[in-house]
Structure 1
Amino acid sequence: MKKIVVGLLVFILLLAAVVLSVGYYYLRGATPALPPLQLFIHGQILTMDNSNRVVSAMAVRGERIEALGSNDEILALRQAGTVVYDLKGKTLLPGFIDAHGHFPGTGLSAVGSDLSSPPLGAVRSISDIQQYLAEAAKTGKDEDWLFGFGYDDSLLLEKRHPNRHDLDAVSTTRPIYLMHSSGHLAVVNTAGLRRAGINAETSDPEGGVIVREDNSTQPSGLLLEHATDLVAAQAMDFSGLDFLAMVDAARDQYLAAGVTTIQSGGVDSRLLNGLYWLSKLQRIPQRVLVWPLADKVEAELNSGALSLDDFQSDTFAASAIKIIVDGSIQGYTAFLSEPYYQQQTGSTDPAYRGFSRYKQDELNAQVKNLHCKNYQLALHGNGDAAIDMVLTAIEYAQQACPRADARPILVHGQMARADQITRMKQQGITPSFFSAHTYFWGDRHRDQFLGPERGARISPLAEAVAEDLRFTVHLDSPVVPMDMARLLWTSVTRQTRSGEVLGADQRINTLQALRAVTIDAAWQSFKEQDIGSLEVGKFADLVLLDRSPLASEDNLLNFKVDQVWIAGRCYFQRGRNECDVISNESR
């Protein structure tokens, strides 16, 4: 009997080992070969160093850059087994750094219906939304949530949000959750409201609004800001396989865009752990910068149940704690100092100017608590009233616990005024501007949300340059697609979708824009010693473009990424499943 038990235990242990081994190899990503020495010659190599030096050749030994110089100087380093890339005049520069986004959000199409309007999608009306959802409802069980994302009420024919009755027309039994393109609003059908326990008696959560039907206390289905938290956790409780599908899709999209460092801002402990382990397993080859959301992790940090020191490596960092102070301008939830230019459809308050998720004393206390524990902070503020709150809270925390180089980040900073730019410089704050707004929402900022004067000031990059204030730019993906060419082009031209220029005096030049997604984006997260520029000793995170972004605005908008290297390993080559060398002159 004892032998049988021992044998059974051995079998179980062997079976567990097999399962773990299979799981490990299933989850682990491919690791390309690392040549001992790689030489890049005959190129336009933009180093993004302090002097923006341009060289024609570079040597990479193992994972790091060994030398930069002329073609002859670098070719003199060639030895047996060296891989030589003849760039043939193409542009090589540091891999792009996503200064702020929500990885793996661009992979949401793997788990839900993309309800974006042109130019990103095909949805033009609430009827179109219903058709997409009806098609999605043909699969899955009746108890499964139907999930859609990316709808923009201001681009719909009806110029309004869908309501629960619109979604009930798709299903009265299956719960439906639609996430607004801003990520700050959602619409739920009656079955979904019932599943979440939201009814006429449910009070608005602090920092959020359950929008009611006219002349009634019944929920309309529209949820603003913190009210989305009442539903989102269960509506977006994706399976492990769904999560992997999202990560794989997003990873490939970011590589194709030339992004070697990705960012996920506002994660909970579950997503933090998931991204960390997929990074360790190299399922995500890019470097990963994660901002845990204060509302989700502060209690764990205070109790010691969570330590961000456990999530630090060359390829992964929980680099800042994120605090969301207000919402989005296009969602009418950004907190402005003056009323919106045109109030949203159905509004009866001409003085409405959005709202903050916090009272000032509450924000002061939270910022002070985290700042005094030496965390870097990233505070979301879109409206100028919210930015005032952010600056006041940081000043309050710094007075309580002075730190020489805390590098707090203002996320988005859409409506930053000139006086606020000056205060940011004085307080050592790095603004990360969502400058692609000028293209995607610029016309509506001017004509609907903010008016001509305030609309022309969104993302005041030139004022930051004039103040010698270091800044970054970002796409906030999946709010807009991961398209670094579009981001750079909008920062330089400020062209809207109609072709108009919005705030010509806030334009910057191409080199300034490139620095905002390379070395200055590295600096934002205390990574400037290792990445962000091509200098001796730094990791060889590289992107090769098919044309020079410096040559023209057309080149800047339309460049294609030819190859991407991360720490010397090639992970992407356009048009191929695996990388090869452009010209191998090994000796």
Structure 2
Amino acid sequence: MCRSCVGELFANLSSFYPGKSRRGFMVGSALAAGAGMAALGAAPPTRAQAGGVDLIFRKGTIIPMSGADRYAEAVAVDDGRIVAVGTDAEVMKLRTTSTRVVDLAGRTLLPGLIDPHQHTGVGAVITALFEDVGYPTYKTRQAVFDAVRAKAAKTPANDWLYFFGFDNLLQGGELSIGELDALSATHPIMIYYNNMHTAAVNSAALKAAKIPDDIQELPGGGRFRRDANGKLNGLVDEEAALRRMLVGLPKLTPQFVGKATADWLKRNSAAGITAVHEAGVTVTGDQLQGYERIAAQSPCRMSISLMFASMSAGDPYKDFGRGARATQVPNSLLSFYAIKIIGDGSNQTKTAAQTVPYLGGRAKGELNYEPAQLKKMVAEVKEAGWPVSIHANGDAAIDAALDAIEAAYGANPATGINRIEHCTMARMDQVARMGALGVQPSFLMNHVHLYGAAYRDILFGAERADRMDAAGDCVRAGVPFTLHTDSPVTKIGVLQLVQTAVTRRCALDNSVIGKNQAVSLTDALKAVTVHAAGQIGMRDRLGSLERGKEADLTILESDPYKVEPDKIADIKVSETWVAGKKAFG
């Protein structure tokens, strides 16, 4: 699903923290880190009395996600790191008069949950600037139209109206320029689909954005679609075209972006997430310094992959590592992982590239880059010392991605895990090939939760739909995988992903899609802990409760092993801890 184009929202913002040199900024962020939530990772906490520990968690269910034992009885933490996991008697020997003992009172302690693919800055700004017209709020197409019309009635003529979250599969199909023109002829309107690859605009928007009638396809797959008569039909696809429609957004200020992003991160922390990976940042100006400042005060860790066009923006941070050698920027919870390339579009809008046509027609979607061009781009990423992360929903795009990765990196490169983002329609032979190359997929399992029935009945037919998000094949092939939300494409919170990976149940009609692709609860939890840590270059620091690892912890009100599989997403998050400091709860 995802789209990075809204990184262009930041195009008129030179920095989150303007007027500072890099060295001055580092000093400033270090000072800022001395207060409030900045203590979560900014400076090492003071050690407890020699020979003792700062914290002990006990009297609950503890799931280490390491080794053969499912449960432990207690965990000891000192200086923000785990120093012991074991029986209550063993761990309590480390207690001194200065040790704080946390009584879990029967609750369940897990390694901190990780969302390895979302869009933090973009999601934060969209949430703040765009009106929500998504399916959770508006169940019908007419309800969406009524909301747009009501907003237009309260807005001065010629002012832009921006909306986000329209779901063409659940809210009645593609929008048309005629429908949007009927809502307002005087307001430029953009309705951004929740897949973040497509938007619908009206005639006033095309005029205001100065889109000529004869506009051709733009680099990277940017398209203004046309009707049967060759006229623009108001549908806009992919980054290069979508960014042309953002001319009506207000100028962003550092204060606005900072607050929006902080609020977004707090929502992640409240969902039990201790680390988020922003999968593709388009950098403008000193934007990364802004991320650095926010990460110094964040309630969860922030990992970033840069978009291909922004690759050089990571050069000032080279000494802090990337990929397999990722480390945190000093005085911050920020780290860097890979370079992101968008290989195709969305299955939901039939823009993802397939080898077999979509159901009921001859359309196969389109690659955003010709295979030779993609190989050249991936070779540049490898030459610069990064792993690559390639968005590929359709199996044709997955073929092109694997060809490019194999040509540039070979198998199991030292730079780190190369990732296929979403990897929705992978064939069995492609899963086997990923295993041979050391490539790992990250699945948006909410595809099954939201669209399983639509994939079956509208897009692919039962046989192909049963293969979507092929986690089961990965387990059988020994290929590690992760699960992600792609927020704001789907809502923040990874427990729904875990539930769906286990049940394969579609919420729309309660049907099970691809029973053979269901996985065990243990495999699903690994996908948002151990394997997710590996896919952001932090496997040696995060993802399991083991001696020497960071004390990132999620406390749940119930043990996921002891609730009905269809109730896992309903488990309440009680507390979230990062580096031995409570961030939520």
Q: Partner amino acid for 2:134?
A: S
Instruction: Give the match for residue 548 of structure 2.
Output: 537
1:124 corresponding residue in structure 2? 140
Q: What 5-or-longer segments of structure 1 have no aligned partner?
A: 1-16, 343-349, 574-587
SS in 1 for 2:369: coil
For structure 2, the 5+ residue unaligned runs are 1-23, 49-53, 322-326
Q: Which SS does the other structure have where 2:547 is aligned?
A: coil
Q: Distance in 2 between matches of 1:490 and 1:78?
A: 40
Report Cα offsets for 1:225-248 as digits up to 9, x if no partner: 245334255355662244234313
Q: Which residue of 1 aligns with 2:512?
A: 501
Aligned match for 2:168, one of 153, 157, 160: 153
Post-superposition Cα deviations, 1:36-81, rounded to whole Å, max 9, x if no partner, equal: 4111111211111243542110111121111112112222222123
Alignment correspondent of 1:13: none
Asked whether the 8 Å contact 2:33–2:296 carries over to 1, the reply is no
Deviations 1:449-502 (A, max 9, x none): 111000001111111111111111111111110122211000000001211111
Once the two structures are superposed, the pairs formed by residues 576-587 of structure 1 within 5 Å of their partners are none
Equivalent runs, 1:74-113 vs 2, <5 Å: 74-107=91-124, 108-113=126-131
Q: For the pair shown, which has the larger CA radius of gyration, 1 or 2?
A: 1
Paired position in structure 2 for 1:247: 261
Question: Size of the alignment, in residue pairs?
Answer: 535
CA distance in 2, matches of 1:53, 1:508: 17
Matched, 1:177 2:190: yes
2:409 counterpart (388, 394, 398): 398
Give the one of 563, 569, 575 matched to 1:557: 569
Q: Which residue of 1 aligns with 2:271?
A: 257
CA distance in 2, matches of 1:78, 1:221: 66
Q: Cα–Cα, structure 1 residues 169 and 276, in superposed 2: closer, same or farther, change >3 Å?
A: same
Distance 1:305 1:509, change over 3 A: closer
Q: Which amino acid aligns with 1:540?
A: A
Distance 1:544 1:111 in 2: 33
* Preserved contact between residue 526 and residue 532 of structure 2 (Cα < 8 Å): yes
Q: In terms of mean alpha carbon deviation, does 257-266 or 313-322 score higher?
A: 313-322
**Contact residue 350 and residue 363 of structure 2 kept, 8 A:** no
SS of structure 2 residue aligned to 1:406: coil
The aligned residue for residue 472 of structure 2 is: 462
Q: 1:415 aligns with which of 422, 425, 432?
A: 425
Residue 372 of structure 1 pairs with residue 389 of structure 2: no
* Residue 367 of structure 1: how far off its partner (Å): 0.5
Compared CA separation, residues 134 and 239, structure 1 to 2 (3 A): farther
Q: Does 1:359 align with 2:373?
A: no
**Residues in 1 aligned to 2:157 and 2:561: alpha-carbon distance in whole angstroms:** 54
Distance in 2, Cα, partners of 1:264 & 1:94: 20
Letter in 1 for 2:464: R
Partners of 2:180 and 2:320 in 1: CA distance: 43
Match of 1:201 in 2: 214
**What TM-score comes out, normalization by structure 2 length?**
0.85
Provide the C-alpha distance between the structure 2 equivalents of 1:220 and 1:482, rounded to a whole number of angstroms. Answer: 33
Partner of 2:7: none
Q: In structure 2, what is the Cα distance between the partners aligned to 1:242 and 1:533?
A: 36
Q: Which residue of 1 aligns with 2:434?
A: 424
How far off its partner does 1:371 sit?
A: 1.1
How many Å separate the matches in 1 of 2:404 and 2:251? 36
Does the 8 A contact of 1:205 with 1:226 survive in 2? no
1:416 to partner: Cα distance: 0.7
Shift of 1:437: 1.0
Once residues 439 and 531 of structure 2 are traced to their aligned partners in structure 1, the CA distance between those partners, rounded to angstroms, is: 13
Secondary structure of 2:501's aligned partner: helix
Which secondary structure state, in structure 2, belongs to the residue aligned with residue 42 of structure 1? strand
Cα separation, 2, equivalents of 1:214 and 1:306? 49
Q: Is residue 387–residue 413 contact of structure 1 (8 Å, CA) maintained in 2?
A: yes
Residues 280 and 105 (structure 1 numbering): CA distance in 2 closer, same or farther, change over 3 Å?
closer
Mean CA deviation greater in 143-152 or 437-446 = 143-152
Secondary structure at the residue paired with 1:99? strand
Contact 2:58 2:101 in 1 (8 A): yes
Name the aligned partner's letter for residue 199 of structure 2: A
Question: Judging changes above 3 Å, is the alpha-carbon distance between structure 1 residues 411 and 275 closer, same or farther for their aligned structure 2 residues?
Answer: farther
- CA change 1:78–1:259 in 2 (3 A) is same
What amino acid does structure 2 have at the position aligned with 1:384? D
**How far 1:21 sits from its partner (Å)?**
9.5
With normalisation by structure 1, the TM-score equals 0.85
Residue 339 of structure 1: how far off its partner (Å): 0.5
CA contact (8 A) 1:27 1:281 kept: no
Instruction: Using the TM superposition, give the Cα deviation of residue 221 of structure 1 relative to its aligned residue in structure 2, in angstroms.
Output: 1.3
Query: What's the offset of the Cα at 1:526?
Result: 1.6
Indicate the SS of the match to 1:186. strand
The residue aligned with 1:335 is 353
Change over 3 Å in CA distance of 1:248–1:67 after alignment to 2: same
How far apart are residue 143 of structure 1 and its match? 5.8
* Structure-1 separation of matches of 2:248 and 2:534: 36
**Fraction of identical pairs, as percent:** 31
Q: 1:26 and 1:39, CA in 2 relative to 1: closer, same or farther beyond 3 A?
A: closer
